[in-house]
Structure formats: C-alpha cells, structure tokens
Amino acid sequence: MASSSSTSVFLVFSSLLIFSTLLYVSEADYSAPIVKGLSWDYHHKTCHKVEKIVRKHLKKVFKEDIGQAAGLLRLHFHDCFVQGCDGSVLLDGSHGGPSEQTAPPNQSLRKQAFSIIEDLRNLVHRECGRVVSCADIVALAARDAVHLSGGPNYDVPLGRKDGLSFATQNATLNNLPAPTSNASTILSALATKNLTPIDVVALSGGHTIGVSHCSSFTPRLYPTQDPTMEKTFAHGLKEVCPTNTTNATTIMDIYSPIKFDNKYYVDLMNRQGLFTSDQDLYTHEVTKPIVESFAHDEKLFFEEFVKAMIKMGQMEVLTGEKGEIRAHCSIRNHDNKGYFSYLVEEEDQSDLESRAELLYVMCRLVAGEDDSGGELEHHQSLTNETERMDPQIRAQIARLEARISRVEARMEKLEVSVRYLQRRMYVYGFVCLMSVLYAIFK
C-alpha cells in the first residue's frame, strides 16, 4: 500500500514537470526570426536577472493600478514606429528642438509610463551596472504589460542600444497612424515597415486595454454621427464627450477594459470600435476576415499578436557599436561616447595598460618594497599621463574598478552558496533514493 502511494505521488509530480516543460516550449514556438545583433539570451551573462527584476516591479505597479499596463504597451508602439525601437521617445527636448513627446500623437502618452521605465532602469542598473538599454527595458515592460493583464507570455529578443537623437515633429507625425485614418491608409503605411495585414490587425488588438481621449474619436460623433457606429454605443460616447472639445476619457473595450483578450474584435463586429482606424478594419475587404477569425479564436489572436510584437520590436534597432546604453533614459550620456559595461571601449588600450602598471607599482611602494631601476620616475610619467585623461574617463574607470570589486565579492559569496547547495542536494538525493528503495523492498 505504501509502495502504491509513493508511486502515485511520483507520477503526479512527473506529469506536472512534463506539462510545465511543454507549456514553456509552446511559448517559445511563437518566436519569429530575429535581426543580427539581437538574441534571446543577450543578457544571460551580464544581467541574467533583468526579466525577473522588470516583472517583479511591474507586478507591484499593476496591483495598484492595472491601467498602467496599457500606457507601457502604447509607449513601446510609439517608440518603435518612429525611427525604430531605440528609446528615442523617452528623450527630453533640447536646444536642438522639441522631442518626440511634444508631437500631438505623443502628448497623450501616460506620464507615469515614462516614470515607470526610469524606475525599472534604476533597479536594473543598480543590480547589474549599465549593461541593459532603456530600449530593451521598454520592450520587456510591454511584454509584461500584456501578460500580467491576462495576455500571452513570450520571449523577447534583446540587445537593442539606445538612440543618440530623437525624431523631428514631422517624422513623428508621419510615422504614427492617426486614429482617424482608414484601413487602406494604415495598411499602406505599415507595409513599408514590413508589417502584413495580419500583423496590423493583431497589433491593433492592443486596444483591448486602456482608455482614449475624446479628441481621438469625436470626429465620428460631430457634427454628424458616423453611420458605421452602433447607435446605442454612440449615445453613450456623447454622454462622456458632449462636445467635440471635451477633454475626457473613456475605455477602449466595453466588454473587458482591463483584461487583455480578444473582445476588441467582438466590439468591431458589433460596430462598437472607438476609432475610425479600429472600426474600418471590419469594413475593409482584406482585414474583415482577419477580424472575424480573431473574434472567434482567442488562441489564434494571441499567437499572431506575439509574432507581430516580436517583428515590431526589431524595427530599425541599433545594435553592436551603434547607439549607447543611457545612464538615464530621458537624456543622452554626457560624454557622447557610447557606453561602458565591463570594458571601457572608448579608452585607448595603452592608457589602460599604463594605469594597471601604475597601480602595481603603487601597491609595491605601499608594501615597502624598493623602487630600484628608476621605476618610480618612470611611473611618475605614467601618473602625469593618467591625470591628463578626460576626467569623465577617469571617473568611469574608478566606477568600473569599484564595480569589479563588488562583482568579485558577490562571486565569492555565490561560490560558497553553490557549494552549500551542492552538499544539500547530495544529502537530499541520498535520502530520496533510500526512501524509494525502502518503499520497493518493504
């Protein structure tokens, strides 16, 4: 009897493990081809906790206000459609001109979304150093906004660098589809970005969460009502927006406004889409059957949405030596020389070697060793050379040395922990084996 009970428990546990593995593989199957410079495990060695850090913080944020999920998802859209997914929408304006944020389509982006990204950047950089770009953090935040709102979970290719400039007002206006655009206009515009009609309809499904300002849809209400809008729905909107100048907001999806699902497409079939760009998807001959298929099959919508998100997230990305990793998401790095991770890439190798040699001699002097052979005079010249370095470079080197020391200390603690866990695993494994043998031979 005891043997049968033990066997049953083992089978149940094994089944759970197999199911979990299959579920993970099915998520990975959504993966689309990725561009050169990005990879699925880009931060595995430099910041393997980045995704956990982002998700843990966003769980806290959404617990207080799930509405922030839509703001983060929209921020990713607006970043990628204008000069690529380079975090340029995060940049503040400068003497060079107004930023992307001041363009009319971006003025309604949630201010809290920018603050959340900066908070995430601070948490990630505090844990790992400046090795993860703001553009990557925006992409991860958008993924978690979808998943934590009830949508699909999926892998995100990483390795983006942050842009060195923001787009002009005209470029921003020309690259963001307007809510008053019809389906033909949107399909043509997004085809230039390698997005298919299925991609366009799937990405539009992001409107299943969030709110809209009256100004984005009142042209469908005044001076005359759009005949493609259901009358009762239109009447409700007029109560929220009694004039075409009302500055109010309303939910995008009347069925499940805070849950990421396929009800947006049900809205369109019921003529309850909010924007012209939404409702016209159910009028256009190319996109109408796609809307219907997504309305009837949520799993299909999720699969196509993930493919489209991964494709969109690779638009005109900067990788390798292009761009930088910003120390603060809203401003370019002051030195304009890219970024420092584990290596100071912009520093001349001979300067680094001279600094290392100088530190070695200083250690010898502190230890009381003689400086025979005129080494002190030689390294005094090295000191002068070091002092002539760019002050920002010297400061970066000092911070790098401090970070290396902290990493070495963490590695020592980690090695101790690993050895301890290994010993415990051996003990538990032995106990488990003995229990199984006892159950078999009892």
Sign of the CA dihedral running 428, 433, 437, 439: positive
Same domain for 184 and 115: yes
Mean pLDDT of all residues in 249-254:
96
Same domain for 23 and 74: no
pLDDT the model gives residue 98:
87
pLDDT digits over 183-236, tens only?
999 999 999 999 999 999 999 999 999 999 999 999 999 999 999 999 999 999
Asked if residue 341 has pLDDT above 70, the reply is no
Same domain for 96 and 5: no
Model confidence band, residue 433 (pLDDT cutoffs 50, 70, 90)? confident
The CATH number assigned to the domain holding 85 equals 1.10.520.10
Helix (H, G, I), strand (E, B) or coil at 212: strand
* Annotated catalytic residue, options 43, 57, 78, 284: 78
What's CA 341's distance to the chain center, in Å? Answer: 19
Asked if residue 74 has pLDDT above 70, the reply is yes
User: Of 318, 338, 337, 328, whose CA–CA distance to 158 is shortest?
Assistant: 318
Same domain for 45 and 17: no
Q: Of 115-119, 262-266, 272-276, 435-439, give the lowest mean pLDDT range.
A: 435-439
Model confidence band, residue 408 (pLDDT cutoffs 50, 70, 90)? low
pLDDT the model gives residue 409:
61
Model confidence band, residue 306 (pLDDT cutoffs 50, 70, 90)? very high
Terminal Cα distance for the chain, rounded: 10
86 among annotated binding-site residues:
yes
Whether residue 135 lies inside any domain: the answer is yes
Model confidence band, residue 7 (pLDDT cutoffs 50, 70, 90)? very low
Could you give the angle at which helices 2-28 and 391-441 cross, rounded to 10 degrees? 150
Same domain for 119 and 194: yes
Question: Per the structure, how many domains does the chain have?
Answer: 2
Mean pLDDT of all residues in 244-248:
91
Mean pLDDT of all residues in 423-431:
68
Q: Which domain, by its residues, includes 25?
A: 1-30
pLDDT the model gives residue 18:
38
Whether residue 416 lies inside any domain: the answer is no
Same domain for 133 and 12: no
pLDDT the model gives residue 438:
75
Whether residue 1 lies inside any domain: the answer is yes
Mean pLDDT, the chain, integer = 82
381: which strand partners?
none
Whether residue 171 lies inside any domain: the answer is yes
Asked if residue 418 has pLDDT above 70, the reply is no
351 among annotated binding-site residues:
no
Q: At 196, which helix (H) or strand (E)?
A: none
Rounded Cα distance, 91 and 99, in Å: 7
Same domain for 77 and 121: yes
pLDDT the model gives residue 416:
60
277 among annotated binding-site residues:
no
88 among annotated binding-site residues:
yes
Asked if residue 21 has pLDDT above 50, the reply is no
Determine if residue 99 is left, alpha or beta; phi over 0 gives left, psi from -120 to 50 gives alpha, anything else beta: beta
Percent of the chain whose predicted confidence (pLDDT) is above 90: 65
Asked if residue 373 has pLDDT above 60, the reply is no
User: Of 334, 392, 338, whose CA–CA distance to 94 is shortest?
Assistant: 334
Rounded Cα distance, 345 and 295, in Å: 51
pLDDT the model gives residue 402:
62
Asked if residue 24 has pLDDT above 70, the reply is no
Whether residue 405 lies inside any domain: the answer is no
267 among annotated binding-site residues:
no
Model confidence band, residue 25 (pLDDT cutoffs 50, 70, 90)? very low
Same domain for 123 and 9: no
pLDDT the model gives residue 105:
92
Same domain for 22 and 122: no
Whether residue 393 lies inside any domain: the answer is no
Prediction pTM value: 0.71
pLDDT the model gives residue 432:
72
Rounded Cα distance, 192 and 316, in Å: 12
Q: Of 63-77, 191-205, 344-358, 410-424, give the lowest mean pLDDT range.
A: 344-358
Same domain for 269 and 197: yes
Please check whether residue 113 is in contact with residue 71, taking contact to mean a CB–CB distance below 8 angstroms.
Answer: yes
pLDDT the model gives residue 344:
37
253 among annotated binding-site residues:
yes
Please check whether residue 221 is in contact with residue 237, taking contact to mean a CB–CB distance below 8 angstroms.
Answer: yes
Whether residue 123 lies inside any domain: the answer is yes
Rounded Cα distance, 27 and 31, in Å: 8
Q: Is 284 one of the annotated active-site residues of the chain?
A: no
Please check whether residue 186 is in contact with residue 338, taking contact to mean a CB–CB distance below 8 angstroms.
Answer: no
Rounded Cα distance, 339 and 137, in Å: 16
Helix (H, G, I), strand (E, B) or coil at 324: strand
82 among annotated binding-site residues:
yes
Please check whether residue 338 is in contact with residue 321, taking contact to mean a CB–CB distance below 8 angstroms.
Answer: yes
pLDDT the model gives residue 106:
93
What b/e readout covers 355-365, taking b as 16+ CB neighbours within 10 angstroms? beebeebeeee
Whether residue 384 lies inside any domain: the answer is no
Please check whether residue 182 is in contact with residue 276, taking contact to mean a CB–CB distance below 8 angstroms.
Answer: yes
Same domain for 83 and 184: yes
Cis peptide before 223 (omega within 30 of 0): yes
331: which strand partners?
328
User: Of 100, 280, 295, whose CA–CA distance to 187 is shortest?
Assistant: 280
Of 277, 312, 347, the residue at which a domain comes to its end is 312
pLDDT digits over 32-71, tens only?
678 999 999 999 999 999 999 999 999 999 999 999 999 9
Q: At 316, which helix (H) or strand (E)?
A: none
pLDDT the model gives residue 338:
41
Q: How wide is the angle at C-alpha 139 spanned by C-alphas 253 and 205, nearest 5°?
A: 25
Asked if residue 173 has pLDDT above 70, the reply is yes
What's CA 323's distance to the chain center, in Å? Answer: 17
Asked if residue 312 has pLDDT above 70, the reply is yes
Same domain for 156 and 14: no
